[in-house]
Every structure is written in C-alpha cells, then in structure tokens.
C-alpha cells in the first residue's frame, strides 16, 4: 500500500535530497511537498488548489519556514480534531533544546535532527520509512481522500 506523506520544507535542495533518499530507500511512499506553513495548512484542509489533496498518513515538518513557521503549523494541526491524529514528525537542523521541548509540548510525534552527512541523512530517511511506514500502526484513513 502506498503511503501518502506531506513534506513541509522550503529548501528545494532538502526537498530533492529527501525525495532522493526515499527513492534510494525504495520505499512505497507518495511524497507531497508544501514549501511554507500556509501552503501546508491549505493542503491539509483541501483549500484552493489542494481540493483534491489526499489526507497524508504522516507529516514531515521543518521548523523554520516562511510565512507560517513549523511551530505554528504544528499547533494548528494538533488543535484540529480532524488533523491531530496524523503523526507529525519534526525534521529540522535545529538542535536547540527549547525547540525540542516546545515541539513535544505542541504534541509533535517525533523530533529528528537533519544530520549534516549525506549518509546519515539517508539513514534517517530509511529509519523514518522503516518505523512509520512499516513498524508503526497508523490511524485509519477515516476521511482519507
């Protein structure tokens, strides 16, 4: 079964790297990208161009985003009765303790540092795929589609 994943990331380099990593890992994932927080919320709420957007099985969310940053996006998701069941994984370069703490307080499901080395990054993507796509049981796609 193909998993729908929303990657919220403004850096095209990182988007491509993530895409490549998922591809190299030979995962069965359909990656959707939102390049800022506003676009992410629009995608999740099927607004505007995203009326046909699928409900993601999980979300990879960067913290530093234009317009609406990742913390706000996380807060909106977790305040939304419909969206809050979607596992949201913070994927960021920030190692700051305040960011980690704040994210978990906003009920992030997981906090991952983007590693500097390519291999490490690929390993992370693999392990994310391994854990969220195959190990973890995800909530049913109640309103999926």
Partner 1 sequence: MIRFLTKRTVQFAFGAAIAILLIVAGFAYRSIVISGENGRWVQHTHEVLENLQDMQFALETVSSSIRGYVLTGEETYLDPYRAARVSLEQHTAAVGELTSDNPAQRENMLALERLAAGRMGRADEIIDLRRNQGPSAASEALRVGPGLRVGVEYRAVIGRMQDEERRLLALRLADAQRSTSQIKITLILGTFVGLLITVAAGLSVQRDNSRRETAEGALQESERKYRMLVDGVKDYAILMLGPQGEIRSWNPGAERMTGCTWEEVAGQNFSRFFSADDVNLGRPGEILRKTAESGQYEEQGMRVRKDGTRYQIRTTFTASRDPAGNLRGFSVISRDLTENKESETKYRGLLEAAPDAMVVVNQGGEIVLLNVQAEKQFGYRRDELLGQKVTNIIPIGFAERLIADDLRSTEDASAQQIGTGIELIAERKDGSEFPIEIMLSPLQSPEGTLVTAAIRDISVRKAAETHLSQMEGRYRGLLEAAPDAMVVVNQGGEIVLLNVQAEKQFGYRRDELLGQKVTNIIPIGFAERLIADDLRSTEDASAQQIGTGIELIAERKDGSEFPIEIMLSPLQSPEGTLVTAAIRDISVRKAAAVVLLQKVDELNRSNEELGQFAYIASHDLQEPLRMVASYTQLLSRRYKGKLDADADEFIAFAVDGASRMQRLIQDLLAYSRVGTKGRELLETSSEDALQQALTNLRGAIEESSAVVTHDPLPPVMADDMQLTQLFQNLVGNAIKYQKSGVPRVHISAARNGGKQWDFAVKDNGLGIDPQYFERIFGMFQRLHKRDEFAGTGIGLAICKKIVERHGGHIWVESKQGQGSTFRFALAGSQAKS
Positions that interact with partner 1 (CB under 8 A): 11, 13-14, 17, 20, 93, 114, 116-119, 121
What is the nearest approach in angstroms of partner 1 to the Cβ of residue 1? 29
Backbone angles phi, psi at 60, to 5 degrees: -105, 115
Q: Which is nearer to partner 1, 118 or 136 (CB)?
A: 118
Alpha carbon of residue 96 to chain centroid: 19
What is the nearest approach in angstroms of partner 1 to the Cβ of residue 62? 11
What is the nearest approach in angstroms of partner 1 to the Cβ of residue 32? 22
Q: In Å, how far are 46, 81, 115, 137, 145 from 75, measured between CA atoms?
A: 18, 12, 25, 23, 23
CA neighbor of 6 nearest in space, from 20, 102, 39, 105: 39
Q: Which is nearer to partner 1, 10 or 57 (CB)?
A: 10
What is the nearest approach in angstroms of partner 1 to the Cβ of residue 129? 18
Q: Which is nearer to partner 1, 81 or 95 (CB)?
A: 95
Q: Which is nearer to partner 1, 23 or 84 (CB)?
A: 23
What are all long-range contacts of 112-117, with beta carbons under 8 Å and residues at least 24 apart? 114/14
């Amino acid at each position: 079964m193909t998993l729908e994943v929303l990657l919220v990331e403004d850096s095209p380099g990182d988007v491509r790297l993530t895409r490549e990593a998922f591809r190299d890992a030979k995962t069965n994932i359909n990656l959707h990208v939102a390049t800022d927080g506003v676009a992410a919320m629009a995608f999740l709420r099927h607004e505007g161009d995203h009326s046909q957007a699928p409900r993601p099985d999980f979300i990879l969310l960067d913290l530093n985003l234009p317009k609406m940053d990742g913390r706000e996006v996380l807060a909106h998701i977790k305040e939304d009765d419909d969206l809050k069941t979607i596992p949201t994984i913070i994927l960021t370069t920030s190692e700051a303790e305040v960011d980690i703490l704040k994210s978990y307080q906003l009920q992030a499901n997981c906090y991952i540092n983007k590693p500097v080395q390519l291999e490490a990054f690929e390993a992370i993507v693999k392990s994310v795929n391994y854990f969220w796509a195959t190990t973890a049981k995800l909530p049913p796609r109640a309103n999926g589609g």
